[in-house]
Amino acid sequence: MENKVVPPLRWDFSNMSAEVLGTADGINDSARSPALQLLDEARKCFEEDRKKGRFPFLELPYQSTEKIKTLAEMVRERFDNFVLLGIGGSALGPIALQQALHSPHYNMLSRDQRGGPKMFFIDNVDPSEVAPLFELLDPARTVVNVVTKSGGTLETMALFLLFKDWVTKHVGSRAARNHFIATTDLNKGALRKIAQEEGYPTLDIPEAIGGRYSVLTPVGLFPAAVSGIDIDALLKGAADLDQVFQKGPTSENGAIWGAYLHYWSSTQKKRNILVTMPYAEGLNGIAQWFGQIWAESLGKEKDLSGKKVSTGQTPVVAVGATDQHSQLQLYMEGPMDKTIQFISVEAIKDDLSFPPIKAEGTIALLDGRSLGELLQIEQLAIEASLTKAGRPNCKITLPSLDPHSVGALFYFFEVQTVYAGRFYQINAFDQPGVEAGKKIIKKLLLRKNRL
Amino acid sequence: MENKVVPPLRWDFSNMSAEVLGTADGINDSARSPALQLLDEARKCFEEDRKKGRFPFLELPYQSTEKIKTLAEMVRERFDNFVLLGIGGSALGPIALQQALHSPHYNMLSRDQRGGPKMFFIDNVDPSEVAPLFELLDPARTVVNVVTKSGGTLETMALFLLFKDWVTKHVGSRAARNHFIATTDLNKGALRKIAQEEGYPTLDIPEAIGGRYSVLTPVGLFPAAVSGIDIDALLKGAADLDQVFQKGPTSENGAIWGAYLHYWSSTQKKRNILVTMPYAEGLNGIAQWFGQIWAESLGKEKDLSGKKVSTGQTPVVAVGATDQHSQLQLYMEGPMDKTIQFISVEAIKDDLSFPPIKAEGTIALLDGRSLGELLQIEQLAIEASLTKAGRPNCKITLPSLDPHSVGALFYFFEVQTVYAGRFYQINAFDQPGVEAGKKIIKKLLLRKNRL
């Protein structure tokens, strides 16, 4: 007997409709009805492609996690510091998980409170990020997880060279081998070769899964497990959403609708900006992660037929309530060029009730309330004020900030991106535009004289 | 005898010109020549307004810092933890300074290495940010700096209520008075009143300086001084830039040109996005701070005559080299709707040389290089590849990441914003669009039942 699936999150696109915004800015029935047919067709293609194995990241929720958990357990027991070296998709997912599911002061907690090592994520080739770490950490008590899909990402390998040198100088080249774990492609790439030569433990990134779709591979799961996150619950959230999507009608599928409405906004209403605005500090990292998958997947010069199209919305990250005091003025009064995508959390953890209040004015209204309630009230108020001003917005609501919801949220955005790619008729899985820069980097590095 | 002024930073807008980008996307002489006259007029008005005292933030570089430094010295001696409560302009500046001028692992350094307390910045009403801090910190060893210009910002006062309760419960209401410092308007507001009643030390924000122009008031200077930043060097950098601007010709004034070119891009070329992309992890906070001053100052529904205009560019933050692996694809191939504003740093601190390299391929090219060189090479390469693809970009270069340069950078952006406001013919100092949301927050708080 199968358990009933609990919907791991909810979505609401009503504030993008003509019924709410008026016909000039919202989608109305004359656009929605033909869309439904398009959506149904897109879904059929999607399901066929999935059966053919073209979207292997969709099956990640059903993977076995034993190897990851075993290796993570070893790291938790043996090391005080965990350093991840990665860039782009190899860092954004791991960082997003850490931020969403742990205290912002995780590294300042006691070892007992953490239960595992301190967590560091290095995703830039900036000495000011690296040098202080070499001062701070004891290499003998540090494990380094080198993460690169291709196995040859220049920035990540540059960092690896420095960390390898640092560890080796302190513990010797033989012992240094026990301080590195490689997460990379199963078969190819420089890192795989080095890992084999040196005997590093390795974790495999399935071949057909690119960096920005890799958060539910060992790329994201391993550091999450090392920091004590329940990665099975994470995958269960994604699996539950997958079941909801697979079993429910297209008309109620939030990822397909979201993809279509953002595509429609961008192509029909010239709204070239999509702001992700979580009302939860911890979701900042997921908004940044979303920024990559949306920008890199959909920002394309040519469509599948080779026609020049220059598609894509520019993702912007705002955090509520903070950015009410920074970006909101522009969102309320500036150009009609954006949609605000709220993310809210229903059950507030560790909420703090206000003490009895003697002050006058608005502050007195906090009496009997809690800080979490204030955050939720602000989200509702800003949503209402944007809507009243005719500004398009939508919302994803998580029941709580836990691995189950967060796993589902990643999955929601991944599926939505693939559908959006289909509507734009572009390849959502390549990134040809970054090659030119890489070539120039190589050319400049070849010059013998400095810079 | 006056010292010769060292230019505290450099700017380069040539990659926005028709000579580089072609006439379709770049500015050419037929647009530039009439502009110069407009720029000269703008400068005249600006200087007259300044003389009339309309831009008091321009005089901040010449203020006395004695009171701030004395209070900061007391805090450095007496406390282990410094917590700033503020939102918007009351937090973005302080956070930007901390990030730019201290190690990312500042709070994990030893007391001796830091020389002052651990620094915490709370800029959201999210219990998950606050509750862990109550667990982590000893209230008896903690000082709280409450920062609100108006003295009644709801979020900041909500946080203050909780922190006051927390400290009072642990040390008693009499001793609690020694744990709070108020930074607020000299004369008005609830916080000023409470500070007087309780006897808190106070720091004054000059009346005519709004939150987003307040980083060089005690709002930014006090926490900077507490963490050991040389705030006189910070002001000197701003003062030096002011002198360069005052004495140099309009045609060589980077802030006026920057303002005009971004205004021109937005109104003539429909480039409604301005990406700030520092090649330095530490400048992330300044890019965020810029996001507020640019969005809130220029995102206006009506111009000064009351005509509906809906102006403003949406600021986006990207960090190099990291976001080459996240946003660059979109910037290279997506819509022609943005300008990339690079910030680079010339002298790299704590640079790390690569060890001898045995590997093959591009990685081998790092041999004899340093991590900082790689970062700089990547900036040059991405600038070149964007330019080659016809994508507008500009660059600000800091001689090094030190208080002098950083002070100048804040000042540069402030002056540029005021000029941009003049070109758009809008009020760059108000934020009428946020009032609607505040009213709804109040309405929702008034409801007796939950949410």
Question: Residue A179 has what DSSP assignment?
Answer: G
Determine whether the interchain pair A310/B105 forms a contact, defined as Cβ–Cβ distance below 8 Å. Answer: no
Question: Is B102 a catalytic site residue?
Answer: no
Report the distance separating Cα A378 and Cα A348, nearest Å.
Answer: 14
A278-304 pLDDT, tens digit per residue, is 999 999 999 999 999 999 999 999 999
Determine whether the interchain pair B445/A369 forms a contact, defined as Cβ–Cβ distance below 8 Å. Answer: yes
- Identify the CATH assignment for A60-229 out of 3.40.920.10, 3.30.930.10, 3.40.50.300, 3.40.50.10490: 3.40.50.10490
Nearest to residue A407, comparing CAs of A253, A245, A159, A240? A240
B323 burial class (0-12, 13-18, 19+ CB within 10 angstroms)?
A: buried
pLDDT for residue A6 is more than 70:
no
Q: What local confidence, expressed as pLDDT, does residue B360 receive?
A: 78
* B321 prior amide bond cis, ω within 30: yes
Determine whether the interchain pair A322/B123 forms a contact, defined as Cβ–Cβ distance below 8 Å. Answer: yes
Mutation for A interface: B137, B146, B167, B330, most A CBs within 10 A:
B330
Q: What local confidence, expressed as pLDDT, does residue A396 receive?
A: 98
What are residue A143's DSSP bridge partners?
A82
Mean pLDDT of chain A: 95
Q: Establish, for the pair of chains A and B, how many residue pairs have beta carbons separated by less than 8 Å.
A: 418
Q: Could you say which of B155, B179, B296, B300 is catalytic?
A: B296
- Which CATH number applies to B10-51+234-431? 3.40.50.10490
**Are B341 and B396 spatial neighbours (Cβ–Cβ below 8 Å)?**
yes
Q: Could you say which of B169, B270, B438, B442 is catalytic?
A: B438
Domains B10-51+234-431 and B60-232 share a fold: yes
Q: Is the ipTM of this complex over 0.90?
A: yes
Determine whether the interchain pair A326/B360 forms a contact, defined as Cβ–Cβ distance below 8 Å. Answer: no
B positions 312-371 inside 8 Å of A (CB): 312, 314-317, 319-322, 324-338, 348-352, 354-355, 357, 359-363, 365-366, 369-371
Coil, strand or helix: which one is A138?
coil
B positions 180-199 inside 8 Å of A (CB): 190, 194
Contact list in A for residue B214 (CB cut-off 8 A) is none
Q: Could you say which of B51, B52, B308, B325 is catalytic?
A: B325
Q: What local confidence, expressed as pLDDT, does residue B4 receive?
A: 58
Contact list in A for residue B379 (CB cut-off 8 A) is none
Q: Could you say which of A51, A325, A358, A439 is catalytic?
A: A325
A120-176 pLDDT, tens digit per residue, is 999 999 999 999 999 999 999 999 999 999 999 999 999 999 999 999 999 999 999
Pairing of strands B393-400, B10-12: antiparallel
Contact list in B for residue A332 (CB cut-off 8 A) is 299, 301, 433-434, 436-437
- Which CATH number applies to B60-232? 3.40.50.10490
**Are B243 and B2 spatial neighbours (Cβ–Cβ below 8 Å)?**
no
Q: What local confidence, expressed as pLDDT, does residue A191 receive?
A: 95
Residue ranges per domain, chain A?
Answer: 10-51+234-434, 60-229
Question: Is A438 a catalytic site residue?
Answer: yes
Tokens of A328: 């909101």
A219-256 pLDDT, tens digit per residue, is 999 999 999 999 999 999 999 999 999 999 999 999 99
CA distance A61 to chain B (A): 24
Per the rule left: phi > 0, alpha: psi between -120 and 50, beta: everything else, A66 is alpha
Determine whether the interchain pair A377/B445 forms a contact, defined as Cβ–Cβ distance below 8 Å. Answer: yes
Report the distance separating Cα A32 and Cα A47, nearest Å.
Answer: 22
Nearest to residue A296, comparing CAs of A218, A214, A211, A221? A211
Q: What local confidence, expressed as pLDDT, does residue B2 receive?
A: 46
Q: What local confidence, expressed as pLDDT, does residue A358 receive?
A: 83
Tokens of A114: 């953490």
Coil, strand or helix: which one is B68?
helix
Determine whether the interchain pair B295/A389 forms a contact, defined as Cβ–Cβ distance below 8 Å. Answer: no
DSSP for B169-196, please give it: HHH-HHHHGGGEEEEEESS-SHHHHHHH
What are residue B12's DSSP bridge partners?
B395
pLDDT for residue A98 is more than 80:
yes
Output phi, psi for A36, to 5 deg. Answer: -55, -40
Residue B321 makes CB contacts below 8 A (sequence gap 6+) with A87, A124, A125, A126, A155, B279, B374, B375, B378, B379, B382
Tokens of A108: 């300042």
Question: Is B438 a catalytic site residue?
Answer: yes
Report the distance separating Cα B302 and Cα B308, nearest Å.
Answer: 4
What are residue B144's DSSP bridge partners?
B83, B180
Coil, strand or helix: which one is A255?
helix
Q: What local confidence, expressed as pLDDT, does residue A207 receive?
A: 87
Pick A128's closest partner by Cβ from B326, B350, B361.
B350
Residue of A nearest to B332 (CA): A433
Question: Which fold is adopted by the domain A10-51+234-434?
Answer: Rossmann fold (3.40.50)
What Rg do the C-alpha atoms of chain B give, in angstroms? 23
Q: What local confidence, expressed as pLDDT, does residue A449 receive?
A: 62
Residue A92 makes CB contacts below 8 A (sequence gap 6+) with A123, A212, A215, A285, A288, A289, A292, B326
DSSP for B125-184, please give it: --HHHHHHHHHHS-GGGEEEEEEESSS--HHHHHHHHHHHHHHHHHH-HHHHGGGEEEEE
CA distance A138 to chain B (A): 13
Note the helical H segments in A371-426.
Answer: 371-388, 403-424
Low pLDDT (below 50) residues in chain B: 1-2
What Rg do the C-alpha atoms of chain A give, in angstroms? 23
Determine whether the interchain pair A328/B194 forms a contact, defined as Cβ–Cβ distance below 8 Å. Answer: no
A30-56 pLDDT, tens digit per residue, is 888 889 999 999 999 999 999 999 999
Q: Could you say which of A44, A270, A438, A442 is catalytic?
A: A438
User: For A2-26, what is the mean pLDDT?
Assistant: 87
Determine whether the interchain pair A330/B299 forms a contact, defined as Cβ–Cβ distance below 8 Å. Answer: yes
User: For A102-129, what is the mean pLDDT?
Assistant: 96
Pick A381's closest partner by Cβ from B332, B337, B440.
B440
Q: What local confidence, expressed as pLDDT, does residue B359 receive?
A: 78
